[in-house]
Structure 1
Amino acid sequence: MKMKRQEYAIVDIETTGGNASSSRITEIAIIINDGKNIIERWETLVNPQKDIPASIFALIGIDNEMVKNAPIFDDISEKVLEMLSDRIFVAHNVNFDYSFVRHELEKSGFKWTARKLCTVRDARKIRPGFKSYSLGKLCRTLDIPLKNQHRAGGDAYATFIPFSRLLEWILWK
């Protein structure tokens, strides 16, 4: 019997603020990876059903006009759940993204948990001594091109590359 290869869901979100119980997701990107190759990529803006603060717009560039006709999270919750099920949830600063996605899925009526992998924590362990482990600085340190920073699709892809390298470093140590 052939064992199924472990798959990973590399996730990045943009939000209206820093707390999952009082803020909402404005954009989500998910990259499905088998440890080597990208199997699927998906991203969408999300109507948070609340105003996006000016300070958040200044950081991520997503405004109320951009999300006005986007789906609400309820409309994409089944797709998100399907993409995350039976996969390890990977993110840069994983607890932030995980808490929002879990909270939104619960609001949509789904009970979901997953194993988590944090690229910040693992990069610190595997490659100690960098001045910063923020996604932008980590990418610059590792000569990884970072396009569309502070947008879910760009940051998810930027997380995928160091994640792939971390897996290589772990396997070839």
Structure 2
Amino acid sequence: MIYTIVDIETTGGSHGNRITEIAAVKTDGTTILSEYESLINPEVFIPKSITLLTGISNNMVADAPKFEDVADEFYEFLEGTIFVAHNVSFDYGIIKNHFEDLGTTFNQKKLCTVRLSRTIIPGYPSYSLGKICTNLGITNG
């Protein structure tokens, strides 16, 4: 099986917010096969609170491609893989909405690492990605 681990940043946390960044890694579970990363021009204003949270500003995305400009390439990157994300319903839902806005059907098998971590390491006070990594001794890089 091939998995694509996806993380997006958006203009906010609710439905209708726009993607500002996509990062994805394709893996067979042991080896990184390929990577995808792009800032995305959301075509709407990024609130200051979101810039403080994500580090992505309006200036950074001003000349970035719109989702419609990267949609075909990103769709092909994901095609035939299992979509993996921490809180998959958020990332998957936003991406699905973006594809559907373009008239593209998006139905991938998906795996939620929050749900998985609650199953394999029960009893943690927090299942945020940062807390899980810290508790498991996983460092960035």
* Residue 17 of structure 1 pairs with residue 17 of structure 2: no
Deviation at 1:112, TM superposition (A): 1.1
Letter in 1 for 2:9: E
Give the aligned partner of residue 85 of structure 2.
91
User: Take 2:130 and 2:99, find their aligned partners in 1: how far apart are those partners?
Assistant: 28
8 Å contact kept, 1:52–1:64: yes
How far did residue 119 of structure 1 move? 0.5
Give the deviation of 1:12 after TM superposition: 0.2
Normalised by the size of structure 1, how large is the TM-score?
0.79
Moved over 3 A (4+): none
Aligned to 1:102: 96
Larger strand percent: 2
**TM-score normalised by structure 2 residue count:** 0.96
**What is the one-letter code of the residue matched to 1:13?**
I
Q: Does 1:26 align with 2:20?
A: yes
* Alignment-derived partner of residue 132 in structure 1: 126
Task: Name stretches of at least 5 consecutive residues in structure 2 with no aligned partner.
Answer: none
Map 1:39-58 to 2 at 5 A. Answer: 39-58=33-52
Over aligned residue pairs, what C-alpha RMSD do you find? Answer: 1.0
Distance in 2 separating the partners of 1:108 and 1:17: 21
Partner SS for 2:75: helix
> For 1:129 and 1:68, how far apart are their aligned partners in 2?
43
Residue 19 of structure 1: how far off its partner (Å): 2.2
| Amino acid paired to 2:100 | E
Which consecutive unaligned segments of at least 5 residues does structure 1 have? 1-5, 148-173
AA at the equivalent of 1:144 = I
Secondary structure of 1:112's counterpart equals coil
Structure with the largest fraction of helix:
1
Q: 1:60 aligns with which of 44, 54, 60?
A: 54
> How many residues matched?
141
